[in-house]
Structure 1
Amino acid sequence: MSDVVNAVRAALPGVRADLEALVKIPAIAFDGLDHEPVRQGADAVQRLLDEAGAAESRQLSHGGGQPSVYAHFPAPAGQPTVLLYAHQDVQPVGDLAKWEQDDPFTVVEKDGRLYGRGVADDKAGVMAHVAALRAFGGRPPVGVKLLIEGEEEFGSPTLEGLIRANQDLLAADVVVIADSTNWRTEVPALTTTLRGVINVYVEVALLKVAVHSGVFGGPVPDALTALARLVATMHDDAGDVAVEGLVSGPSAPLDFDEEALRHEAGLLPGTEFIGTGRLTERLWTKPTATVLGIDAPGAAESANALQPSARAKVSFRLAPGDSAERALKAVRAHFEAHAPWGAQVTVTPEGGLGDPCAIDATGPSFDAARAAFAEAWDGTEPVEIGIGGSIPMIATFQELYPEAAILVTGVEDQYSNPHGPNESLDIEMFERVCTAEALLLDKLKR
Structure 2
Amino acid sequence: MAHDELAHTMSSLMPQAQRELAELVAFRSVADPEQFPPSECEAAARWIVDTLRAEGFADVQALDTPDGTQSVYGLLPGPPNAPTVLLYAHYDVQPPLDEDAWDSPPFELTEREGRWYGRGAADCKGGLVMHLLALRALKAHGGVPVTVKVIVEGSEEQSTSGLEQYAEAHPELLTADAILIGDCGNFRAGQPTLVSCLRGATTVQVQVDTLEGNLHSGLFGGVAPDALAALIRVLDSVRGEDGSTTIDGLPAEASWEGLEYPEEDFVRDAKVLDGVELIGSGSVGDRLWARPAVTVLGIDCPPVVGATPSVQASARALVSLRVPPGMDSDTANEALTRHLESHVPWGAKVTVRKVGGGQPFQADVHSPAYASMAEAMRQAYDGTEMAVVGMGGSIPLCNTLATLYPKAEMLLFGLSEPEAQIHAVNESVSPDELERLSVAEALFLREYARQV
Fold agreement, TM-score > 0.5: yes
TM-score range, shorter chain: over 0.9
Match of 1:232 among 218, 236, 240: 236
Spell out, residue by residue over 1:30-76, the C-alpha distance to the aligned partner (whole angstroms, 9 max, x if none).
Answer: 22212222222112222222222213312111225222111111232
1:268 is the counterpart of 2:273: yes
Higher mean C-alpha displacement, 77-86 vs 218-227? 218-227
In the alignment, residue 248 of structure 2 is paired with which amino acid?
E
In the alignment, residue 241 of structure 1 is paired with which amino acid?
T
Tell me the CA shift for residue 176 of structure 1: 0.6
In the alignment, residue 250 of structure 1 is paired with which amino acid?
S
SS of residue in 2 equivalent to 1:77: coil
Tell me the CA shift for residue 86 of structure 1: 0.3
Partner in structure 2 of residue 15 of structure 1: 17
1:49 is the counterpart of 2:48: no
SS of residue in 2 equivalent to 1:384: strand
Residues 215, 22 of structure 1: CA spacing in aligned structure 2 closer, same or farther, 3 A cutoff? closer
Match of 2:153 among 143, 149, 155: 149
Match of 2:100 among 83, 97, 100: 97
Spell out, residue by residue over 1:320-357, the C-alpha distance to the aligned partner (whole angstroms, 9 max, x if none).
Answer: 1111110111112212222212223221111x321111
Please give the residue correspondences for 1:210-225 in structure 2 after superposition, counting only pairs within 5 Å. Answer: 210-225=214-229
Partner in structure 2 of residue 291 of structure 1: 296
Match of 1:83 among 71, 83, 86: 86
CA distance in 1, matches of 2:119, 2:213: 44
Tell me the CA shift for residue 263 of structure 1: 3.3
Question: Sequence identity, in percent?
Answer: 38
Tell me the CA shift for residue 224 of structure 1: 1.6
Spell out, residue by residue over 1:284-327, the C-alpha distance to the aligned partner (whole angstroms, 9 max, x if none).
Answer: 22111111222223344444443333222111111111111101
Please give the residue correspondences for 1:41-440 in structure 2 after superposition, counting only pairs within 5 Å. Answer: 41-63=44-66, 65-101=68-104, 103-137=105-139, 139-248=143-252, 249-350=254-355, 352-440=356-444
* Contact map agreement 1:5 1:439 (CA 8 A) in 2: no
RMSD value, Cα:
2.0
For structure 1, which runs of at least 5 residues remain unmatched after alignment?
A: none
Residues 269, 400 of structure 1: CA spacing in aligned structure 2 closer, same or farther, 3 A cutoff? same
SS of residue in 2 equivalent to 1:256: coil
Tell me the CA shift for residue 159 of structure 1: 1.6
CA distance in 2, matches of 1:219, 1:41: 53
Spell out, residue by residue over 1:370-427, the C-alpha distance to the aligned partner (whole angstroms, 9 max, x if none).
Answer: 1111111111121111111111111111111111111111112120011222211112
CA distance in 1, matches of 2:315, 2:292: 25
* Contact map agreement 2:258 2:389 (CA 8 A) in 1: no
Higher mean C-alpha displacement, 431-440 vs 215-224? 215-224
CA distance in 2, matches of 1:145, 1:104: 30
In the alignment, residue 266 of structure 2 is paired with which amino acid?
L
Q: How many residues align?
A: 444
CA distance in 1, matches of 2:313, 2:95: 33
Give the structure-2-normalised TM-score: 0.92
Spell out, residue by residue over 1:68-102, the C-alpha distance to the aligned partner (whole angstroms, 9 max, x if none).
Answer: 1111112322221000000122222222222222x
Residues 6, 104 of structure 1: CA spacing in aligned structure 2 closer, same or farther, 3 A cutoff? same
CA distance in 2, matches of 1:22, 1:60: 19
* Contact map agreement 1:52 1:137 (CA 8 A) in 2: no
Tell me the CA shift for residue 194 of structure 1: 0.8
In the alignment, residue 369 of structure 2 is paired with which amino acid?
S
In the alignment, residue 105 of structure 1 is paired with which amino acid?
F
Tell me the CA shift for residue 23 of structure 1: 2.2
CA distance in 2, matches of 1:247, 1:406: 28
Tell me the CA shift for residue 4 of structure 1: 3.8
SS of residue in 1 equivalent to 2:315: strand
CA distance in 2, matches of 1:299, 1:97: 19
Residues 231, 7 of structure 1: CA spacing in aligned structure 2 closer, same or farther, 3 A cutoff? same
Residues 289, 50 of structure 1: CA spacing in aligned structure 2 closer, same or farther, 3 A cutoff? same
Tell me the CA shift for residue 218 of structure 1: 3.6
Partner in structure 2 of residue 29 of structure 1: 31
